[in-house]
Structure 1
Amino acid sequence: MRQMITSVRKMVARYDIHPRKRLGQSFLEDLNIIRRIVALAEPAEDETIVEIGAGLGFMTEELAKRAGRVIAIEVDPRLAAILRERFTGQDRVEVVEIDVLKYDFSSASPEGRIKVVGNIPYHISSPILFRLLDFRRSISSMILMLQKELADRIAAPPGTKDYGIPSVIVARYTKATCEMTVPPTCFYPAPEVVSSVLRMEVRREPELPDGALFAKIVRAAFARRRKTLWNNIRRIGLPEEMVDRVFVRSGIDRTRRAETLSVEEFSLLTTAWIESGRQIS
């Protein structure tokens, strides 16, 4: 029987792996943290979990102990080969060698919703997050390791300095909470930043009829943080009297600033804009 290597550093040495900085490779090697992340995902026998950046397979192995199916996504051919070798004969694990930004998450479980777990490459965190939101109808929850600075912005409530565009866009589709902070010493090689694990439960509530309009209004509102909603929103393109009508319809004080609005209030602004009879070009 092939002996399982139980240490990240031993496996790196065994396969002569040199972590690639351009891919943001930094392997989580603290098994206690790995098990806590898996526990947050709450895998079940009837569930499919997609793991982003499976790397050397340590989290994959823990997920496969509890989930009915694990799809391990890995873009690096060297690591994908190691994963295939490691999980040979394990029907629960499927290794997919692909760029996560090209992966069709809806294909993972066509008849139900999946869970997503991953240690996200920090240099492409935002594109990955927004791609996941694009596939939100196929996802029930996400447990993601992110740079703490970004995680704090995503989970920030209204009225705080971290609250901004990512906070509102993500809150429209999910309920996000920071579950733990992970220091650089838990990784090999150690990154230069502190990390956080974010849990995002995807909402099932009915959505606004125009997500693109919602996002454009949010971005316009935060374009100049020190300016009022009136000063920012009117720069989008509507005549002032029509912008005034939007605020009247929504019931929102136009002298407020964007960071004071909840996601529900941004939804009210969007609905009022739609009811004004003119879309943003």
Structure 2
Amino acid sequence: MDTVSLYNIQNIKHILNTHNLTPSKHFGQNYLISSRAIDAICAAADIQKEDCVFEVGPGLGVLTFALLPRAKNVVSFEIEKKLQPYWDQKESTCNTLSVIWGNALKTVPEHIPKKETYKVVANLPYQITSQILRLFLEAEHPPEKMVVMVQKEVADRICAVPGNMSLLSVAVQYLGTPKIITKVPRTAFWPEPKVDSAVLAITHIEKKDVKERDVFFRIVKAGFSSKRKQLWHNLVNGLHIAPEQVKECLQEVTGNTKIRAQELSIAQWKQLAVCLGK
């Protein structure tokens, strides 16, 4: 089975029927049938012959089989055990493919390399997008790059600018540099989902000091605890710091004591964390 044949809905249906499967909403099984999207993902990932690639949610392998000729090896994490005979057969004929079975949120951490560089390239199951991003970005040894398919709305939130920032956008932009590569319409999938998607690349992923990262996120989470309130109020309540100290730091960092959490840039959040940590 090659990538091209997996763009064909009838072929997909045949494979699923063979393994007594129907697309599962619970596992977010919408099969990508667009060669344009696959090409965009591979181009953005810039896979080299020495690259180790991690993939979460391979499904029937439309992306996997496009990655294998390009990479040194591909490690795919799949939860749908009914597909094990299908993937066992693929693994038996390809020594650069490893399929790890189970919930990726539990199985990925024990397989992340301690020293070897790797990339994450995946059409992510949408229900666990945020958790998977956090798992890799906060790993002891984070990936060199991530190129993932996510819901367009999520990609837009991650790439937001000051004025529209959220806890998600601050978290991702603190740890790396996200960029939307291309939009992918819902018609590029079967069954067709209710939302459009986007290919998101995260580069310049930076390993943070754990203590520094924890302090930063404690402050950011407090800051976003109530979107309707001004930032100083959230920080006072969430961090149990005197209002005078918080307002002094906000004035120093932003020049505005009445600013709201969504209006700060990543640089300002970093400065605020330092100021409040004094």
- Verify: 1:54 aligned to 2:41, yes or no: no
The residue aligned with 2:231 is 229
CA shift for structure 1 position 136: 6.3
Q: TM-score, normalised by structure 2?
A: 0.89
User: Do the aligned partners of 2:235 and 2:246 also contact (CA within 8 Å) in 1?
Assistant: yes
Structure 1 residue 249, shift from structure 2 partner: 6.1
Rounded Cα–Cα distance in structure 1 between residues aligned with 2:13 and 2:248: 62
Q: Distance in 2 between matches of 1:146 and 1:121?
A: 8
Gapped regions of structure 2 (runs ≥ 5): none
Name the amino acid aligned to 2:66: E
- Tell me, yes or no, if structure 1 residue 120 matches structure 2 residue 124: yes
1:239 lines up with 2:242 in the alignment: yes
Deviation at 1:110, TM superposition (A): 3.0
User: Over aligned residues, Cα RMSD in angstroms?
Assistant: 2.3
CA contact (8 A) 2:145 2:205 kept: no
Q: What's the CA shift for 1:272? A: 1.3
> Residue 103 of structure 2: which of 65, 79, 99 is its match?
99
TM-score normalised per structure 1: 0.88
Which of the residues 73, 80, 91 maps onto 1:76?
80
Compare 261-270 and 107-116 and name the one that shifted more: 107-116
- Greater shift, 94-103 or 239-248, is seen at 239-248
Distance 1:235 1:152 in 2: 30
Secondary structure at the residue paired with 2:70? coil
Q: Which segment drifts farther, 259-268 or 228-237?
A: 228-237
Contact conserved, 1:48 with 1:108, CA < 8 A, in 2? no
What corresponds to 2:34 in structure 1?
Answer: 30
Specify the SS of the correspondent of 2:229: coil
Moved more, 53-62 or 133-142: 133-142
1:208–1:82 CA distance, 2 compared to 1 (3 A): closer
Task: In structure 2, give the amino acid aligned to 1:201.
Answer: T
Residue number in structure 2 paired with 1:279: none
1:67 lines up with 2:71 in the alignment: yes
Deviates more, 1:14-23 or 1:64-73: 14-23
Aligned to 2:157: 153
Whole-angstrom distance in 1 between the partners of 2:160 and 2:207? 21
Q: Is the 8 A contact 1:49 1:116 kept in 2?
A: yes
Amino acid of the residue matched to residue 172 of structure 1? Y
Pair 109,216 (structure 1): closer, same or farther in 2 beyond 3 Å: closer
- Partner residue, 1:142: 146
Partner of 2:13: 12
Counterpart CA distance in 1 for 2:3 and 2:124 is: 25
User: Structure 1: how far apart are the matches of 2:2 and 2:47?
Assistant: 26
Contact 1:26 1:191 in 2 (8 A): yes
Letter in structure 1 aligned against 2:71: A
Number of positions where the alignment pairs a residue of Structure 1 with one of Structure 2: 272
Task: Name the CA distance, whole Å, in 1 between partners of 2:214 and 2:207.
Answer: 17
Deviates more, 1:184-193 or 1:6-15: 6-15
Q: Would the aligned equivalents of 2:142 and 2:207 in 1 still touch at CA under 8 Å?
A: no
Query: How far 1:205 moved relative to its partner?
Result: 7.0
Secondary structure of 2:192's aligned partner? coil
- State, as a whole percentage, how many aligned pairs show the same letter: 28
- 1:74-106 CA-partner distances (Å, limit 9, x unpaired): 111122331221342211111111211012346
Shift of 1:211: 1.7
AA aligned to 1:12 is: K
Distance between the aligned counterparts of 2:268 and 2:166, measured in 1? 14
Tell me if structure 2 keeps the 8 A contact 1:119–1:144.
yes
Shift of 1:73: 1.1
- The answer on whether the counterparts of 1:208 and 1:267 sit within 8 Å (CA) in structure 2 is no
Matches within 5 A, 1:170-189: 170-189=172-191
Structure 1: gaps (5+ residues)? 276-281
What CA deviation, in whole Å up to 9, does each residue of 1:5-62 have, x standing for no partner?
8135313313413111111111111123112211211111111000110110121111
CA distance in 1, matches of 2:102, 2:191: 23
- Matches of 1:260 and 1:142, distance apart in 2: 26
How far off its partner does 1:252 sit? 4.9
CA deviation digits over 1:170-203, x for unaligned, max 9? 1000100011111111111111111111100143
Query: What does residue 215 of structure 1 align with?
Result: 217
